[in-house]
Amino acid sequence: MASERPKIGWIGSGRMGAALARRLLDAGYDVAVYNRTRDKAHALTPHGATVADAPVDLAGRDIVFTMVAGSSDLEQVTSGEGGVLTDPAKAPKVLVDSSTVSAEASANVRVAALKQGTEFLAAPVSGNPKVVKAGKATLAVSGPRAVYDQLEPVLRSLARAVTYVGEDEVARLVKIAHNVFLGVVIQSLAEITVLAEKGGVSRAAFLEFLNSSVMGSTFSQYKTPAMVHLDFTPTFTMPLLRKDFDLGLAAARSLEAPMPVASAAAQLVAAAVGAGYQDEDFAVLIQEQARRAGMTLRPEDVQVTDGLEDGDG
């Protein structure tokens, strides 16, 4: 891999997986893609990808990335029937998983990979597909430092910032902690925005002020259009956020680290999922917050920016 560009396999071309694989293709890498729904893999062929029939067909690639929905999916595409680690004659040099999964599942896959002579990096991603496309995603990576150093140029094709956080599965804890914080912040942002609107301030005006203040952030900026226009086209759904709260609170119990604010936010997220918010973006929490406040929100016809239009992707 040092003397020439590695050949890459990519498993999982949903919204996030496709955006990430596209960055590798745009960077000139040879990428072969597998997705359970084959049409989603074929959508990358105009950008130079080839399509594999099964994960095991990617076993001869130098590096194989996985980006799947959960822990059971990761174990299936790696060690399950037709998994990338099931060919007795060959296996990828390195397996890199960018999904958000439990540390236990990650450790199981690491053991299975090492049995095949394959190194394993956990490399979960912070960002949504539009953030990835704009070149503003970030990666937390754990595993053998020497393997990380070797793959760093490839990883930097995917994200604005890549942080090596330690050995084994610690990147999983970093990402789960990140996503718990994400859930707490979106609930808090919904609460204060509804408070301001109930007091007579438009959402657009309040969020413009917030984003210009020391409390504004990249996150509050790129959620502003969703909250102003009530456009909840999904980037990250409520059931996925609930899953990450479950993982984070399980880690907190295991490590004896109390998380009272996160626990309260998790209950509100679970209630929203129970109320039927399954397919919308998690910014839809503002609708539930408004309902509890006795309000019915209306889209505001105001031009606002998510701060990503000038991205380099």
User: Tens of pLDDT along 155-183?
Assistant: 999 999 999 999 999 999 999 999 999 99
Q: Which of 197, 190, 272, 175 is nearest to 226 (CA)?
A: 190
Angle at 171 between CA 64 and CA 147, to 5 degrees: 50
Q: Per-residue pLDDT for 185 more than 70?
A: yes
Q: What's the whole-model pTM score? A: 0.89
Query: How many CA atoms within 13 Å lie on the side-chain side of 10?
Result: 32
Decide if 198 is catalytic: no
Range(s) within the chain of domains with CATH label 3.40.50.720: 8-168
User: Tens of pLDDT along 258-270?
Assistant: 999 999 999 999 9
Mean predicted lDDT score pLDDT of the chain? 95
User: Tens of pLDDT along 115-125?
Assistant: 999 999 999 99
CATH 3.40.50.300 fits domain 173-292: no
Q: Which of 130, 175, 223, 243 is catalytic?
A: 175
CB environment 111-144: b (16+ within 10 A), e (fewer):
ebbeebebbbbbbbbbbbbbbbbbbbbbbbbbbe
Range(s) within the chain of domains with CATH label 1.10.1040.10: 173-292
User: pLDDT exceeding 90 applies to what percent of the chain?
Assistant: 93
Q: How many CB atoms lie within 10 A of CB 249?
A: 17
* Confidence bin at 313 (pLDDT 50/70/90): very low
| Two structure tokens written together for 181 | 């914080």
User: Tens of pLDDT along 23-36?
Assistant: 999 999 999 999 99
Q: What is the rounded radius of gyration, in angstroms, for the C-alpha atoms of the chain? A: 20
Domain 8-168 architecture: 3-Layer(aba) Sandwich (3.40)
Spatial contact of 245 and 264, defined as CB atoms under 8 Å apart = no
Q: Per-residue pLDDT for 312 more than 80?
A: no
d(CA 110, CA 119): 8
pLDDT at 309: 65
